[in-house]
Amino acid sequence: MPRNLIVRFAVDQGVRLVGLGVMLFWSAGTLGWWPGWAFVAVSAAWVVATAVVIVRNNPNLLAERISPPKGAKRWDVILMSAHGILQMAVYVVGGLDRRFGWTAGLPLAAQLAALAACILGYAVTVWATACNPFFSLIVRIQTDRGHTVATAGPYRLVRHPAYAGAILLGASLGVLLGSWWAFLIGIVDSLLFVLRTFLEDRDLKRELPGYSDYARQVRYRLLPGIW
């Protein structure tokens, strides 16, 4: 693994974490906001865990994290662009809610439960990353890398475990930040991942050899027994 690649990844992710902190605390108007610090800490832990998993299991994916390759589905570009906007909106609206007090009376227990859900969402995503050597930030059939179906770990339970983790995170973050407005935006963002799951599943059945057989064995896309 080239050292410069690791340095580039660290810088890239470090800048993103700083940006996350700026959006949260600038909009909140204070650094004394524990939910903001809790989410930055959890996000930093996710970055480190993801890096460790990728370096150990599939170093080629590290470069893709820095600069995703071409070939993404057009619908995926649109969905992920909207996801990026909604994600930033959750941070900023959550911070503004903290500053101006739009949401009142949200129990501390609910925020702590949401923090646990955020951690679980990130953990599921890291687990999926560890078990899928073709885990990519974009939807594409990786013929250049001999793409095959991932069937280990959480993929034995549902076909898109990372999206399940992302949905759990999106639905929980607004509550952690103590904002019902941010929560509503997060729900819309989560629905984008439900749509992405449906579209990616459709395309994988059409284009990835063996995926249709896998889909018959693992019946559920996101939640066992539901869908």
Rounded to 5 degrees, what are φ and ψ at 178? 75, 30
Give me the amino acid identity at 148: T
CA 182/CA 178 separation, integer angstroms: 8
Residue 68: the pLDDT is 67
* pLDDT value for 7: 79
pLDDT of residue 90: 97
Round to whole Å and give the CA distance between 201 and 155: 13
Q: What are the structure tokens assigned to 170, written together?
A: 């999106």
What stretches of 149-179 show up as alpha helix (H) in DSSP? 161-176
| Cβ atoms 128, 50 nearer than 8 A | no
Q: Read off the pTM.
A: 0.90
The class level of CATH for 3-217 reads mainly alpha
Q: Which pLDDT does position 104 carry in this prediction? A: 85
How far CA 218 is from CA of 16, 224, 225, in Å, comes to 35, 9, 11
**Residue 69: its pLDDT value, please?**
67
Q: For the chain, which residues score pLDDT lower than 70?
A: 1-2, 67-69, 144
Domain parsing of the chain, residue ranges: 3-217
